[in-house]
Structure 1
Amino acid sequence: MTFNLKILLSTALIAMTGMVAQAQRRLPESHATQHNALIARQNPTVNPFKIENNDILLNHVKEREEMDMESEIFGEFWNSDNVNAYGNAMVPDHKIIDVSEYCAPIMGRVTSNYGYRRRFRRMHKGIDLGLHVGDTVRAAFSGKVRMTKYERKGYGYYVVMRHPNGLETVYGHLSRFLVKPDQVVKAGDPIALGGNTGRSTGPHLHFETRFMGIAINPAAIIDFENGVPHKDEFAFDKKTYNKSQTYAPAKKKTTTKKRYASTKKRKK
């Protein structure tokens, strides 16, 4: 009887020890589960509909900003009768104009520079680039066409474009238009064919760059020999405006070969 009791007590003790060990093994797992549950409760639930709504809102704000900018650039002073739609605007105190997008309207050599013409007693407000009648003329910058008109004693057939960087460009003495007013074009898009119309002594493109109607010497902005801007940005103020009035590209240094006189020895 005593022997059986000892066996029973030993069996019970072993069983209890196993239960305690099993409980200890489960404790970390239970703790980990509780910890994960706590973190899950603390993290906010991601609502896919809320994300989508935020994207829609951001797109709406962006579209609104673009519309406001377009209205500001292409809405005000959108005069379709005059090359200068701004009247007597003043040169700004300081304006940075991004010209990095520039595309050469025509890859022709400069035939006449910007500046005052004593012979005609008037200002030549652009630069002339040589071409052949029918050559493709391209938009110098992205923008919108403001005018396509004809002037018999001046520009001939000409196009005026306005650009988001604040500039307007003028293309004169054309033979044919390839765009219409209010048409949006990108830099490099064909806008016209070159010609010899208006007050012109031969086929060429008369090209102007203006800011608020104020003519800026294009050569101060563009390196026409290489068809690229001098810099990605042009700082426009009274100082640079006055400087551009008389700006001329630096002349290339010509290397002159030394000439050596050939002397013959006299016969004695």
Structure 2
Amino acid sequence: MKLLKFNTLLISLLASAAAFTAQAQLKLPKSHTNQHNSLIANQRPSVNPFKIENNDLLLNQIKAREAAIDNEIFNSFWNSESVNPYGTAVTIPDHHDIDVSEFVSPCPGHITSNYGYRSRFGRMHYGTDLKLQVGDTVRAAFSGKIRLTKYEGRGYGYYVVMRHENGLETVYGHLSRFLVKPNQYVKAGDPIALGGNTGRSTGPHLHFECRYLGIPINPAAIIDFENQVPHKDIFAFDKRTYGKSQKYAPAKKRKAKTTASRKRRTKRARK
């Protein structure tokens, strides 16, 4: 019996010793603990990474930047009642890259009439005509602000002029109803009007123009209307090419010189 108690006591002492040894092995030296705490303290950032320092200053800088852009694009020549508000009052750059990647088709219809000179009417057609039905939704091609909503009986009929953040202006003609007002900001693809057959029109369609600083640009040079996407994300405006379109007119045919007139000139020369 005494032997059994002795063995039990011995096992208990051995277990306690093993536990003490294990704890001693797991316990780190005091110097290591101090070094570890110092390392963690030095890794703490001096500022809160989740807090934007000088938040008011940053926001004011952003607002000032946006205001400057807004003033440059949406205030310059803004109050003009003309489709081309710039006239000759601005200097047209020789080259300018225009971001057109945001484009949304103003209506899904196919082209019924292209940009260019119309010999039938003896005048220039500054836009691309797209097929639609009266009452169809017309959408903004790019984001921007509405500059004009007007009526012109002998031309555009009811029409909208938008100025966009990329510097372009677009014109939407022969409408039946406005869905927007001047100075209203509109995103690309938002409804701006309903299609119609007003003004100088021979049937329901949308007359769509693209202009840069007043200069009309062939919309088909920017947009693939068949697939309703821009040809490229960046349209390279070139003054040498598109500046001519303002004063475009067909070349006058020279009158053919008759044989009789040549003979008369020859006789006068001999005299």
Q: Which bin holds the TM-score, normalised by the shorter protein?
A: 0.7 to 0.9
Q: How far apart are 1:102 and its partner, in Å?
A: 0.6
Write the distance in 1 (CA, Å) between the matches of 2:158 and 2:102: 25
TM-score, reference length from structure 1:
0.74
Task: Look up the equivalent residue of 1:111 and give its one-letter code.
Answer: T
Counterpart position of 2:79 = 79
Worse overlay, 50-59 or 134-143: 50-59
Q: Give the 3-state SS of the residue equivalent to 1:51 in structure 2.
A: coil
Instruction: Structure 2: state its 5+ residue gaps.
Output: 1-24, 250-271
Counterpart position of 1:58 = 58
Worse overlay, 41-50 or 206-215: 41-50
Counterpart position of 1:117 = 118
Instruction: Structure 1: state its 5+ residue gaps.
Output: 1-24, 247-268
Task: Look up the equivalent residue of 1:184 and give its one-letter code.
Answer: Y
Write the distance in 2 (CA, Å) between the matches of 1:90 and 1:76: 13
Is it true that 1:206 corresponds to 2:214 in the alignment? no
Report percent identity of matched pairs: 63
Structure 1 residues 242, 66: closer, same or farther in 2, change over 3 A?
closer
Is it true that 1:194 corresponds to 2:195 in the alignment? yes
Indicate if the aligned counterparts of 2:116 and 2:124 stay in contact, CA closer than 8 A.
yes
Write the distance in 2 (CA, Å) between the matches of 1:209 and 1:50: 45
Task: Look up the equivalent residue of 2:101 and give its one-letter code.
Answer: S
Indicate if the aligned counterparts of 2:215 and 2:242 stay in contact, CA closer than 8 A.
no
Task: Look up the equivalent residue of 2:57 and give its one-letter code.
Answer: L
Q: How does 1:93-132 map to 2 (within 5 A)?
A: 93-132=94-133
Structure 1 residues 243, 87: closer, same or farther in 2, change over 3 A?
closer
Indicate if the aligned counterparts of 1:91 and 1:237 stay in contact, CA closer than 8 A.
no
Q: How far apart are 1:202 and its partner, in Å?
A: 1.1
Task: Look up the equivalent residue of 1:223 and give its one-letter code.
Answer: D
Write the distance in 1 (CA, Å) between the matches of 2:235 and 2:219: 11
Counterpart position of 1:35 = 35
Counterpart position of 2:145 = 144
- Number of residue pairs matched? 223
TM-score, reference length from structure 2:
0.73
Q: How far apart are 1:163 and its partner, in Å?
A: 0.5
Q: How far apart are 1:131 and its partner, in Å?
A: 1.1
Write the distance in 2 (CA, Å) between the matches of 1:94 and 1:39: 58
Q: How far apart are 1:135 and its partner, in Å?
A: 0.8
